Structure formats: structure tokens, C-alpha cells
Amino acid sequence: MHFIAENLDDYVVEHSENEPVLLQQLTRETYQKILQPRMLSGHYQGRVLSMISKLVNPKSILEIGTYTGYSALCLAEGLQGSGTLHTIDINEELVYFQRKYFDRSEYGSQIHQHLGDALDIIPKLDKTFDLVFIDADKENYSNYFHVIIDRLNTGGIILSDNVLWSGKVLEKSFKKDDTSTPALIRYNALLKADTRVETVVLPIRDGLTISRKI
Ligand SMILES: C[S@@+](CC[C@H](N)C(=O)[O-])C[C@H]1O[C@@H](n2cnc3c(N)ncnc32)[C@H](O)[C@@H]1O
């Protein structure tokens, strides 16, 4: 979705950081071999994630929804030297692909993969986090918030992707099988109302929310 004129969007990308070569290769191979390649964050949003992570300079990152590892590698760019990134995905067919690219990067030893349902795995992680990226099944965004918030350090950041859902969050009625749109509407309202965080929605790509724990 383009929130600004397409040629201005192109200008924004052209005047932002270049995409690292490894991420270009990961994108190419994802498009060649993996279903639903449009799920990966991509050049511009990836550079935004990298920049936010560098500003936060986290010791620990949690990512919910690894897919082929693009956003994990962007977020890892901001990790402290001894920091770790834990990333969770339910699709076991992606594990080898992710590891191949993590190990080609300079962050391989800092990135820990977890296979399974994030709602089962998060409570078992004996850690607190400085930065969390939520980018998995939209129906569970509110549940992810509830299991994460007590494990987010004060000043820590939750980034939530796809919060504008191609503009569908403005709709008042939904198709019968559309469970994502109402879930995202509830999630956006939850973030706005919860006094433990301060929140801004950025109209980047499909909508990216930054919530900071007070
Ligand atoms: C949009 S993709 C993630 C894209 C990735 N963050 C990126 O930017 O490159 C969503 C991923 O969430 C995973 N997923 C869906 N439901 C999940 C769940 N309950 N627990 C863990 N992962 C889940 C899917 O398998 C899929 O790989």
C-alpha cells in the first residue's frame, strides 16, 4: 500500500540506506523458493527496523514471526555486542533457510531460533526484552501483547507490523472469514488505551506501530 504518491515513495527509498547485499540475496531466494514472499519486510521497512534497533541498542530482542529471517537480520544490526535475538516461527519448513542466512551474517551466534506456536514458547523463555517485533498471525496480536508486556523492560519498545492492514482497519463490516481485520482493530485500540505504554502509529508500508513501555 502506498500512503504517499508512488514517485515520492520511490524518492524516499532512494534517499534511504541501501539494502545490504546479504538481504538482497535472501529476498531473491525467498521469491524463488518460498510461498508468500511478499510477507518479508523488504528494503525500506528493513532499514527502518535496523535504524530503530540501532537507536534502542538492545541487549535482548524478541521477534514473533521469523519467516525467512529478513527482519531478524535487520533488527540484529542494532544488538549490543553480547546481545541476543530470539525469533519464533511455527513453520518448520523455514528453519533451515533461516539458519543458512543467519550463519552467513555476522550475527549467527547471537540469533536463536524457536520452532512452534509463539504463545506456547514465549512463557518458556526465561528472559526480559528491550525490543519486541510482532509480525505473526494477526488474530493473536493482543494475546502477544499480554504475554510480552511484563517481560518488556521499562523504556523497552514493541514494534507491531501490518497495523493498517491495507487500510481495512477503517472498515465497519467484514467478510465472514476475515478474522484478521477485527483483531487488528481491537489491537490498535488496546495499544492506544493501555497506560503501560505510549504508542505512535507510523504509516510505513502496511502500518508499523511503536509502543514504548513507560
Ligand atoms: C509476515 S511473516 C513474518 C515476516 C518476517 N518478520 C519478515 O519481516 O521477514 C509471518 C510469520 O509468522 C509465522 N506465524 C504465524 N502464526 C504463528 C504462531 N502462532 N507462532 C509463531 N509463528 C507464527 C508464519 O509462519 C510466518 O512465517
Residue nearest to atom 18 of ligand 1 (CA): 117
Residue 2 has pLDDT above 80, yes or no: no
Q: Which amino acid is at 53?
A: S
pLDDT, residue 124, reads: 97
* Average pLDDT value for residue range 74-99: 98
Residue 1 has pLDDT above 90, yes or no: no
CA-CA distance, 202 to 49, in Å (whole number)? 12
pLDDT, one tens digit per residue, over 172-213 is: 999 999 999 999 999 999 999 999 999 999 999 999 999 999
pLDDT, residue 60, reads: 98
Give me ligand 1 centre to Cα 88, in Å.
8
* Average pLDDT value for residue range 130-150: 98
Nearest-atom index, ligand 1, CA of 118? 20
pTM: 0.98
CA-CA distance, 170 to 7, in Å (whole number)? 25
Residue 86 has pLDDT above 90, yes or no: yes
Give me ligand 1 centre to Cα 48, in Å.
19
pLDDT, residue 3, reads: 80
Residue nearest to atom 11 of ligand 1 (CA): 65
4: confidence class by pLDDT, cuts 50, 70, 90: confident
Nearest-atom index, ligand 1, CA of 70? 9
Residues with CB under 6 A from ligand 1: 39-41, 65, 67, 70-71, 88-91, 117-118, 135-137, 140
Q: HEC string of the chain?
A: CCCCCHHHHHHHHHCCCCCCHHHHHHHHHHHHHCCCHHHCCCHHHHHHHHHHHHHHCCCEEEEECCCCCHHHHHHHCCCCCCCEEEEEECCHHHHHHHHHHHHHCCCHHHEEEEECCHHHHHHHCCCCEEEEEECCCHHHHHHHHHHHHHHEEEEEEEEEECCCHHHHHHCCCCCCCCCHHHHHHHHHHHHHHCCCEEEEEECCCCCEEEEEEC
Give me ligand 1 centre to Cα 7, in Å.
30
Give me ligand 1 centre to Cα 42, in Å.
15
